[in-house]
Amino acid sequence: MANILVIAEHDNAALKPATLNAVTAAGKIGGDIHILVAGKGAQAAADAAAKVAGVAKVLLADDAAYEHQLPEDVAPLVVSLAKSGYGHVLAGATSMGKNLLPRVAALLDVAAISDITGVASADTFERPIYAGNAIATVQSSDAVKIITVRTTAFETAAAEGGSAAVETVAGAGAASLSRFVSAELTKSERPELTAARVVVSGGRGMQSGENFPLLEALADKLGAAVGASRAAVDAGFVPNDYQVGQTGKIVAPELYIAVGISGAIQHLAGMKDSKVIVAINKDEEAPIFQVADYGLVADLFKAVPELTAELDKR
């Protein structure tokens, strides 16, 4: 059986959790799992990858060209590795995975399979289409399968317990097509949206960004992350990376609380696999109530502080 290469997502110091979901998906395909850590000064990330349960080998490509993991530079490296005998190349369907893997696939002249939610066999995968309103089962006859993995559809592999060897691989250096200029990251004390156990999201009904602290207070009580609908993002209430939906982040927490969100198809695509959905909306006809396990028809400006206070009591 051919080996599987998982592309690590990392910040040179630590692994991002999406890598662990991709390892679990790789485990369902079957074969030795290798992780590629391409970065600059990324020994720590490689050491972390070596400890992941189920991983047979870690490949570390340490080169200044890989510092920001620009796809123009990393893709040739992945292509040369893929040609050396991998049957599958996987990454989490994060902004990094989505950016890199189609480029790799085209260079290998193979199809890419985006955002898989299920592994039927080594060549057959399930993936949602039409904003999650249909599930397609697709089969690939390509020699190498290039796949991004919907992280919420696969458990995270244990970050401890593995003892893989770290092997250094040489990179091809910079392609000089692109240059990293800067990054502007949203700072938050709360858990990461895609990994949170509880998510509290606000929509157009919040009326302004000044009202989001209401949700933040509730989120803090629950140890939750704060999300938003596109309407709230477009209105400037919160930054773009809060957006949950078809074109934003896909979340599947244990508890999703939708506040002042009507429940458009595009929003539901991002959260309808949550275990329990709560909707708070004053419009009892809002489509969100069709997917909510518990619905409360009420003015959010009254209900949310009440809910926060009620949680305090218990």
Partner 1 sequence: MKILCAVKRVVDYNVKIRVKTDQSGVETSNVKFSMNPFDEIAVEEAVRLKEAGTATEIVVVSIGPAQAQETLRTALAMGADRAILVQTDVETQPLAVAKVLKALVEKEAPGLVILGKQAIDDDCNQTGQMLAALLGWGQGTFASKVVPADGKVTVTREIDGGLETVELALPAVVTADLRLNEPRYASLPNIMKAKKKPLETVTPDSLGVDVTPRLTTLKVTEPAKRKAGVKVADVAALVDKLKNEARVI
Residue 235 sits in the site that holds partner 1 (CB under 8 A): no
Of 28, 51, 57, 98, which one interacts with partner 1 (CB under 8 A)? 98
Measured CA to CA, the distance from residue 191 to residue 201 in angstroms comes to 14
Residue 173 sits in the site that holds partner 1 (CB under 8 A): no
* Binding residues for partner 1 restricted to 16-35, rule: CB under 8 A: none
Of 30, 54, 102, 191, which one interacts with partner 1 (CB under 8 A)? 102
Would you give the DSSP letter of residue 229? Answer: -
Beta bridge partners of 59: 36, 167
Reported residue count of the chain is 314
Q: How many CB atoms lie within 10 A of CB 187?
A: 4
Measured CA to CA, the distance from residue 60 to residue 50 in angstroms comes to 10
Question: Where does this chain touch partner 1 (CB under 8 A) — which range of 34-42, 51-59, 81-89, 275-283?
Answer: 275-283
* Binding residues for partner 1 restricted to 33-72, rule: CB under 8 A: 68, 70-72
Residue 181 sits in the site that holds partner 1 (CB under 8 A): yes
Given a contact cutoff of 8 angstroms between Cβ atoms, the answer to whether 235 and 221 are in contact is no
Q: What are the residues whose beta carbons fall under 8 Å from the beta carbon of 130, sequence distance 6 or more?
A: none
DSSP string, 66-113: GTT--HHHHHHHHHHHHHTTEEEEEEESSHHHHHHHHHHHHHTT--EE
**Identity of residue 130:** Y
* Binding residues for partner 1 restricted to 239-268, rule: CB under 8 A: 239-241, 246-247, 249, 254-255, 265-266
Residue 109 sits in the site that holds partner 1 (CB under 8 A): yes
Query: What is the closest distance, in whole angstroms, from the C-beta atom of residue 41 to partner 1 in the complex?
Result: 19
Q: How many CB atoms lie within 10 A of CB 108?
A: 19
Query: What is the closest distance, in whole angstroms, from the C-beta atom of residue 116 to partner 1 in the complex?
Result: 12
Query: What is the closest distance, in whole angstroms, from the C-beta atom of residue 293 to partner 1 in the complex?
Result: 4
Of 178, 208, 213, 299, which one interacts with partner 1 (CB under 8 A)? 178
Tokens of 308: 């926060």
Residue 134 sits in the site that holds partner 1 (CB under 8 A): yes
Residue 122 sits in the site that holds partner 1 (CB under 8 A): no
Of 13, 14, 168, 234, which one interacts with partner 1 (CB under 8 A)? 234
Question: Where does this chain touch partner 1 (CB under 8 A) — which range of 44-52, 165-173, 208-216, 300-308?
Answer: 300-308
Tokens of 137: 């089962």
Query: Closer to partner 1 at the Cβ: 57 or 188?
Result: 188
Of 110, 196, 244, 251, which one interacts with partner 1 (CB under 8 A)? 110
The residue with tokens 């390509």 is: 142
CA–CA distances in Å: residue 15 to residues 46, 65, 240: 8, 19, 23
Residue 130 sits in the site that holds partner 1 (CB under 8 A): yes
Question: Where does this chain touch partner 1 (CB under 8 A) — which range of 25-33, 41-49, 202-210, 272-280?
Answer: 272-280
Measured CA to CA, the distance from residue 204 to residue 13 in angstroms comes to 38
Residue 217 sits in the site that holds partner 1 (CB under 8 A): no
Query: Closer to partner 1 at the Cβ: 13 or 136?
Result: 136
Query: What is the closest distance, in whole angstroms, from the C-beta atom of residue 56 to partner 1 in the complex?
Result: 28
Q: How many CB atoms lie within 10 A of CB 121?
A: 10
Query: Closer to partner 1 at the Cβ: 155 or 294?
Result: 294
Measured CA to CA, the distance from residue 267 to residue 155 in angstroms comes to 23
- Of 283, 228, 297, which Cα lies nearest the Cα of 256? 228
Question: Where does this chain touch partner 1 (CB under 8 A) — which range of 28-36, 44-52, 207-215, 284-292?
Answer: 284-292
